[in-house]
Amino acid sequence: MKKKPHVRYVFPTAPIAPVTLNGGMPMPSWFDIYGLAPDSPEDEQGVKQSAQKLAQLISDEEKRGIPRSRIVIGGFSQGGAVALYTAFTSGGSKLGGLLALSTWMPSHKTLPELINQSENKALKILQCHGQVDPVVQFFIGVRTSEILKANCPNFTFKQYENLAHSSCDEELVDVFKFLNEAIP
C-alpha cells in the first residue's frame, strides 16, 4: 500500500518496563503481564493508564483538526489489547475504525458490558490472528472474536493458517483493504 497523502500515521511505541511473565526483565510493554492463561490476573491499572495515553493521542489528532470519524486505532498483541480497551472506554464520538492484531480482549469479564454502552459499538473492526500463535494462542483470539461478534455489528475476524505471533503478506493485504474502506 502506498502512503496516502491525506492520511497521517502515528505509531506509538510501548515504554520499556519490567514484565512479570518475562521474569521481571524489562521489555517494551504497555502493561504488566502476569500470565497468558484466560484466567490469569490482569494488570487492569496498567491497561487503563495505557488507554489514557492512547486517548490523549486521539485528542491530539482532534486538536490538529482530524475528526474522530477519520481516526483508526489499532495495535499488535498488547497494543491491540490497549486499542480494544480504549475504543470502548474513552468516550467521545465514534472512531473511524479499529484494528486488533494477534491480541486479546483485556478485562474480558467486564468490557463486553462497556461495549454495549459505547459510542463505538458500531465501529468497523478488523481482528486478525494466526492459527499457530504460541504467545497469544489462537483459542484466545477466537474467544475475543466471539465477544466482539456478539456485541459489534461491523466486526470481521480473519485467521491465518500458518501464522505465529507475527504478521504475513495475506494479513497485510487485509489490513490495507480495511484501512482503505475505513478511511477512503
Residues in the chain: 184
Considering 77, 90, 102, 107, which one is annotated as catalytic?
77
Is 165 noted as a catalytic residue in this protein? yes
- List of residues 6+ apart from 60 with CB closer than 8 A: none
Is 77 noted as a catalytic residue in this protein? yes
In contact, 125 and 155? CB cutoff 8 Å: yes
* Distance, CA of 37 to CA of 182 (rounded, Å): 33
Considering 43, 118, 129, 133, which one is annotated as catalytic?
133
**C-alpha cell, 115:** 461495549
Provide the annotated active-site residues.
77, 133, 165
